[in-house]
């Protein structure tokens, strides 16, 4: 078992799909956090084979929509006084606003600037989202 010191206060993102920690680090702009951030990659996991993990030793407002889009199986552990006080399992968001782009080049959203572009989850298995303007299906980061 790999041992990394427990944190006093902050957030532990556990059960991140292996390889996604760096994507999360960039998308959540964790480089702007002034407190310690620890990224662990390719940790052996009985349930997942391999997993990534991120520890953020800070009070940090997480963007759960973006996190859920990138790594829907993530467990968010809130730590206070050295103890885990809350655990939240993420899931794919049903709706996202302003974080996805339509992959249909003829979609109005790719011709004119649209504000708060909304997508609705169309297929949880394939993780496809439906564009509110043209109904075509798009996956996040594809």
Residues in touch with ligand CTP (CB under 6 A) = 6-7, 12, 14, 53, 55, 75, 77, 79, 82, 84, 87
Least distance from C-beta 14 to ligand CTP, angstroms? 5
Does an H or E element contain 80, and which? Answer: strand 75-80
* Residue 84 contact among ligand CTP, Zn ion, none, beta carbon within 5 to 8 Å by kind: ligand CTP
CA dihedral 59, 64, 69, 75 (to 10 degrees): 70
Residue 60: Cβ-neighbour burial (10 angstroms; 0-12, 13-18, 19+): middle
Q: Which residues contact 44 (CB under 8 A, 6 or more apart)?
A: 2, 50
- What character string, x for contact with Zn ion (CB under 5 A) and - otherwise, covers 59-88? ------------------------------
Q: Is 102 in the site for Zn ion (CB under 5 A)?
A: yes
The rounded distance, in Å, linking the Cα atoms of 63 and 60 is 10
Q: How far is the CB of 53 from Zn ion (least distance, A)?
A: 35
Which residues are at the interface with Zn ion (CB under 5 A)?
A: 102, 104, 107, 131, 133-134
């Amino acid at each position: 078992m790999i041992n990394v010191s427990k944190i006093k206060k902050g957030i532990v993102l556990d059960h991140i799909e292996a390889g996604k920690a760096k994507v999360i680090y960039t998308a959540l702009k964790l480089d702007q956090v002034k407190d310690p951030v620890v990224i662990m990659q390719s940790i052996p996991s009985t349930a997942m084979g391999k997993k990534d993990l991120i520890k953020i030793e800070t009070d940090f407002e997480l963007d759960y929509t973006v996190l859920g889009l990138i790594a829907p199986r993530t467990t968010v552990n809130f730590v206070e006084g050295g103890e885990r006080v809350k655990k939240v399992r993420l899931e794919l968001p049903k709706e996202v606003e302003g974080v996805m782009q339509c992959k249909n080049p003829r979609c109005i959203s790719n011709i004119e600037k649209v504000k708060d572009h909304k997508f609705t989850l169309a297929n949880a298995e394939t993780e496809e989202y439906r564009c509110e303007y043209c109904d075509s299906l798009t996956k996040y980061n594809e």
